[in-house]
Structure 1
Amino acid sequence: MPRKIAFLGGGGVRTPLVVFGIDESAKKLDAEELVLYDIDTERVEMIAELGREVVRSNGGSLRVTVVQTEEEAVDGASFVLNSVRVGGIATRAHDECASISCGYPGQETTGPGGVAMGQRTIPIAIKQARLVERLAPKAWIINFTNPAGLITQAIMHHSSARVVGICDTPTEMLHRIQSALKVSASELECDYVGLNHLGWIRRIVVRGQDVTDRVLNDDAILSQLYSAPLFDHELIRALRLIPTEYLFFYYSRRRALENQKRQGSTRGEQIAQMNESLTLRLMNLFSKGDAPGALQAYIDYLNLRSGSYMKLEGEGQSAFDQQAPEEDPFRAASGYHRIALQVMNSLCSNKSDRVIVNTRNGSVLPEIDADDVIETACNIGNDKIEALPAGSLPEAVRGLVLAVKAYERAAIEAAISGSERDLRKAMLLYPSIGEWEPSQDLLKVMRWR
């Protein structure tokens, strides 16, 4: 029987990318229909129309439909994709600006902005997971919703739904290493360890040869691993680990904050402007019946957005000062839609594939509780996800990982209890905040609900 795939939060700007991926893999997934649900009914209809143009231009057959309730979307689905932003992009922009006003970098998933995002989102994610548990008990939730590791753990601890969290940060890093070393994906093997948005590459092997030292000692290679010059190369060599990009907000907080202040805006504010401009263009083009023009406007938007990634925080540059690359974002080697489809295709296959995802720790990292969620390499296939052995955390990052995981557990507890004291405790445990008194001010200015 053909599969129905549901997308909660389907009015998001990345949905057409996911449409493309599912349409491209429709035969492998045996997928007939992608059902979108979003509380913004006007926006989701426009995004659905864009998705249909993606399918048409690709010569595909996937049906893209919109429903009015979560129940309609979830009922009988084989996969439930979850990508919700409670409060919308305006709330992200507000919280990033509020973080800066309190002396912290403004970032949606890390620091005070990440705490607020988690508190708003955890109850909604658990509610949706329980809906899946009831109406589609055999379905996998493919959790896009940020903070991905935190939300995946909340779903796993407070429902019986099957869930895996995905993020393109690790796979993007692997792709950059592959490009810098000029090797194919099949020739490269990397040892990744950590949590979502808190991960490191600790070993790089090319065709069976360990090239970690070569990479660490080559400034030209290290410079190619990030979209902006985030980390001093001596920092990387001191750690003997290659940090993923979000570690910038731990290792270089002052620089991130100074760049944001100098620019006078945040990434959230800039994306809000991009989204508003995109919406107006799409409405105008669709009103004229120009669906191909709307698709091109969307491609231009994606290129501008990806080309400006981390430039504000790392260099103090505005997104609107960047030269947008002329690429085909649908066929990019990495991205959320790519890893989502890799996971879904692998779950439907008789052969296993190795993918870095957010899943239950088990015995992978001995320092972390078995039921906690980590981001790690897994073998995925035959409707199963099996985390691969990883050994102990490197000493240089062990304390940070354990502290952030303690924060995540406390943050979930605070979202469930609704207690202000529990929330302040979570912020106290979080290394990005780590003090008691500032949490009182943060409570006044952030949008927690």
Structure 2
Amino acid sequence: MSTYTGRKVALIGGGSVRAPLVVYGVNEVSEALGAGEMVLYDPDADRLQIMVALGQAIVTEFGGSLQVRGATSLEEAIEGSHFVLSSIRVGGIAGRASDELAAIDKGYSGQETTGPAGIAMALRTVPIAIAQARLVERLSPDAWLVNFTNPAGLVTQAVSTHTRARIVGICDTPTELFHNIAHALGAGSDELECDYVGLNHLGWVRSVRWRGEEVIDRLLGDNALLRKLYLAPLFDFKMIRTLRLIPTEYLFFYYERQRALTNQRAQGSSRGTEIEKLNHALVGALKSHLGKGDGHGAVQAYAAYLNQRSGSYMKLEAEAGSAFDEGMSLQVDPFRVSSGYHRIAMDVMSALTGAKPAKIVVNTLNQGAMPSLPDEDVVEIASDISRDSIIPCPTQALPDAVQGLVRSVKAYERAAIEAALSGDWLTARKAMLIHPAIGEWTPSEDLLQGLFGHCGDDGDNPCQGPVHWHVARP
């Protein structure tokens, strides 16, 4: 059993725009983690250098003793680490944009974790995530692999099934909804207990207790309160009241698929396309500030980027809005906000060291906690986390209104993982057939060709040998 006397935290995908915010989080709880060093790795050496320099500037800006450096190899980053954080995007942000635009072109909403673009991301990511997890298994067998990589639930499922790495998947979507519920009610987050059930990017709140009193009827009956739960107008409140469930925002891509597609087509863009432009501008600004030794300016540019990105979240899909519209940016300190993926990551890591045990919604093996789903299924569920232990909290059966959707998505995940590892074109089409946001056989061929390019001949066996799931460039 690990004693967590070491000092090293690794981040795979250290060149991503998430990396500096995670550095901030690790620096903030470095004492609880016993962390003195954070090592970032990314195959893009130029981007890695920029994000390492920004991470160092963040430590200087906010104070702390965390040492931040880059690694020249994945093995160097992983070996001897006590936590390995994974935040990779195979194909980069350009790949996300390409996938989303291909889905929109074929008549489906474009979103990186659901629908056709989500399948493409899974097919490309699963083999690499498993290979990296096997390195963790070999080089740091006692380490916890903390997975941010999307689609987070599916990737966590694949790694859990095919390796012995100790993995937990994290996502800030549930806790963000809990925070919004508390804000709407005027309650402190620690005063509320939300009963959450589902999968990653497919979850619902079915009960809200405020100081022990059930208040969900108060929420459901008040449009003004419901309006405060989302940054954009996503759902018809009559639907929420009919379900008697409060959906997380990603259910928009199941419950309002045509509306999402219509708005994306009206804007002529996708979220990934806009993030690509924001990232390009950010990297240019960071190069300018860091090149002049202006660490403070780089941190401020990064904070402005985070506020612009967060303030425009879901606006394109729900309203045909744009991240570049005037007044879209938030006006908050993005580092010290009470929610966000860096917050949940640090809470999970602090709990796993034993420094601060907590109940947190994470992606972990079901182990009988959610009735009607197999023990080995990865579910998103409140779990008691303490030193080297994650125990999912038993919950009631899934409501009838969502049970079929959850089961279908789990069946899709299994098919997508099989296709990712086998490279089989027809199995990938089967995954699309099973996926509730697609659900048709004939379009799946055209979708896959749009996402990955033409494969083989047009006969019954369209691909000779396994497919390499690459990014199809426009």
Query: Which range, TM-score by smaller chain?
Result: over 0.9
Aligned 8 A contact 2:148 2:170 in 1: yes
Structure 1 residue ranges (4+ consecutive) displaced by more than 3 angstroms after TM superposition: none
Match of 1:3 among 2, 7, 10: 7
Contact residue 308 and residue 322 of structure 1 kept, 8 A? no
| Cα shift at 1:58 | 1.1
Amino acid at match of 2:332: E
Written as runs of structure 1 = structure 2, the 5 A alignment for 1:71-220 is 71-220=75-224
* Pick aligned residue for 1:446 from 434, 442, 451: 451
Match of 1:307 among 305, 308, 311: 311
- Aligned-pair Cα RMSD in Å: 0.8
Structure 2 equivalent of residue 327 of structure 1: 332
Q: Which residue pairs with 2:390 in the alignment?
A: 385
Q: CA deviation at 1:129?
A: 0.3
- For 1:177, what is the secondary structure of its paired residue? helix
1:254 maps to amino acid: Q
| 1:416 corresponds to which of 415, 418, 421 | 421
Q: 1:280 aligns with which of 263, 268, 284?
A: 284
Aligned partner of 1:240: which letter? R
The TM-score with structure 1 as length reference comes to 0.99
Q: Which residue of 3, 15, 22 corresponds with 1:18?
A: 22
Q: After TM superposition, give the deviation of residue 309 of structure 1 in Å.
A: 0.3
Say whether the 8 Å CA contact 1:307–1:322 is kept in structure 2: no
2:71 alignment partner, one of 67, 72, 96: 67
Q: Contact (CA 8 Å) 1:362, 1:370: kept in 2 or not? A: yes
Residue 297, structure 1, aligned to residue 301, structure 2: yes
Once the two structures are TM-superposed, the CA of residue 350 in structure 1 deviates from its matched residue by: 5.5
Query: Match of 1:57?
Result: 61
Q: Which amino acid aligns with 1:363?
A: G
Partner in structure 2 of residue 244 of structure 1: 248
Separation of aligned partners in 2, 1:287 and 1:138: 39
When the two structures are superposed, what TM-score results if normalisation uses the length of structure 2? Answer: 0.94
Could you tell me whether the CA contact under 8 Å between 2:145 and 2:166 is conserved in 1? yes
Does the aligned pair in 1 maintain the 2:36–2:67 contact within 8 Å?
yes
SS of match in other structure, 1:225: coil
State the one-letter code of the partner of 2:369. V
What is the CA deviation profile of residues 111-158 of structure 1, one whole-angstrom value per residue up to 9, with x for unaligned ones? 000000000000000000000000000000000000000000000001
Look up the SS of the partner of 1:377 in the other structure.
strand
**AA matched with 1:390:** T
Partner SS for 2:37:
strand
Unaligned runs of 5+ in 1: none
After TM superposition, give the deviation of residue 2 of structure 1 in Å: 3.5
Q: 2:103 & 2:92 partners in 1: Cα distance?
A: 17
Work out the number of aligned pairs and report it. 449
Alpha carbons of structure 1 residues 341 and 351: separation in structure 2 relative to 1, 3 Å: closer
Are 1:304 and 1:322, in contact at CA under 8 Å, matched by a contact in 2?
A: no
Matched, 1:269 2:273: yes
